[in-house]
């Protein structure tokens, strides 16, 4: 207590130097992961209209962007494949010559341990119905048959050179199944990132353009209801028990309460995905002159780290890392 009865917290805000010295949450480039899209059958990078500044990449432009990421100090890249052909089983996801596996090998051979090559382990980009799993005779996602496909994907992606598998499909038991499959194949070195609390959000719209989604219906029977907070922690605890090396909350900014809950309970790193809709809202508002773009980017990522994330997947990863360096 101050002698005159008044406390003066403003002393620690009086200059930029003082504010920097006492700042509680700091962004480091290595805490960022850059999501990237690689498309089959295109001759040059294709802009994603709802995500200004983002592209469906060719292999060559993908490699250049990963080089930029490494130079900026970004911690890793998460790859999503955009195939030309799709079918009900998502066959391209396990084909060694499929676009995602081919791109993974291409990058692994060029970058080695200079960055962490990560891959999205989900069927939605590869199925003609756009769901994250295979369907039964009634058109419902078959959880256990999908696990079999995920196991095949895990082995294909590990063989291609992925160092961390992003299990984003929200099937029950997916982490345990993939861990068993990897270990049985002698791939104990490959880590699993569990998309533990992944909500059926309105913020995924631009992403669906980015991957040329074929989705019919919605994903509410396997992604979580936005009204459920406790369920997010429950899912994370299940994934921890199944052997997840990292757990994640997605989306990030509208689920900071869930992120905080998971961070408090987790014994492994906790990540968060700042998704396409979060990116598009800031880009759209800044394009109209309604907000300060650079400040909004930094503040949004700071808020995610402040809530408890150790690492953030964000489409601003390279740009933000450059500004920090």
User: Which parts of the chain fold into alpha helices (H)?
Assistant: 16-21, 59-72, 99-111, 143-160, 174-184, 205-210, 230-242, 256-265, 276-287, 293-306, 317-324
The partner residues of 121 in beta bridges, in order of sequence, read 167
Location of structure tokens 């990132």: 193
What kind and span of H or E run contains 314? none
Helices and strands (DSSP H and E) totals, the chain: 11, 10
**Exactly one of 250, 272, 305, 320 is catalytic; which is it?**
250
Cα 84 vs. chain centroid, distance in angstroms?
23
In Å, how far from its chain's centre is CA 90? 20
Residue 171 and residue 175: Cα distance in Å, rounded?
9
Give the burial class of 9: count Cβ atoms within 10 A of its Cβ; 0-12 exposed, 13-18 middle, 19 or more buried.
Answer: exposed
Q: Is 198 a catalytic residue?
A: yes
Structure tokens at 61: 């432009």
Catalytic entry in 198, 223, 258, 278: 198
3-state SS string over 257-312?
Answer: HHHHHHHHHCCCCEEEECCHHHHHHHHHHHHCCCCCHHHHHHHHHHHHHHCCCCEE
- Please indicate whether residue 250 is annotated as part of the active site: yes
Number of alpha carbons in the 13 Å side-chain half-sphere of residue 126: 26
Q: Which residues are catalytic?
A: 198, 250
């Amino acid at each position: 207590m101050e002698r005159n009865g008044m406390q003066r917290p403003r002393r620690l805000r009086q200059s930029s130097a003082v504010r920097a010295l006492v700042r509680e949450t700091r962004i480091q480039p290595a805490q960022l992961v850059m999501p990237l899209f690689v498309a089959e059958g295109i001759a040059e990078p294709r802009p994603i209209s709802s995500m200004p500044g983002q592209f469906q990449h060719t292999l060559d432009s993908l490699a250049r962007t990963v080089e930029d990421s490494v130079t900026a100090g970004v911690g890793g890249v998460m790859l999503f494949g955009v195939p030309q052909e799709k079918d009900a089983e998502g066959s391209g996801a396990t084909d060694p010559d499929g676009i995602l596996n081919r791109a993974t090998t291409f990058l692994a051979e060029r970058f080695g341990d200079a960055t962490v090559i990560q891959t999205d382990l989900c069927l939605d980009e590869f199925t003609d119905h756009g769901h994250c799993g295979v369907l039964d005779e009634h058109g419902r996602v078959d959880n256990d048959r999908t696990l079999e496909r995920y196991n095949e994907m895990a082995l294909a992606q590990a063989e291609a050179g992925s160092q961390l598998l992003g299990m984003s499909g929200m099937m029950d038991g997916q982490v345990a199944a993939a861990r068993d499959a990897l270990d049985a194949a002698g791939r104990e070195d490959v880590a699993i990132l569990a998309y533990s609390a992944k909500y059926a959000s309105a913020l995924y719209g631009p992403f669906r353009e980015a991957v040329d989604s074929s989705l019919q219906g919605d994903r509410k029977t396997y992604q979580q209801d936005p009204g459920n907070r406790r369920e997010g922690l429950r899912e994370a605890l299940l994934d921890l028990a199944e052997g997840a090396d990292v757990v994640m909350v997605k989306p990030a900014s509208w689920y900071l309460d869930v992120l905080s809950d998971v961070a408090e309970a987790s014994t492994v790193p906790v990540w968060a995905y700042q998704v396409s809709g979060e990116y598009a809202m800031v880009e759209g508002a800044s394009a109209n002159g309604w907000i300060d773009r650079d400040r909004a980017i930094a503040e949004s990522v700071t808020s995610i780290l402040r809530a408890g994330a150790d690492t953030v997947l964000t489409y601003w990863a390279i740009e933000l890392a450059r500004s920090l360096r």
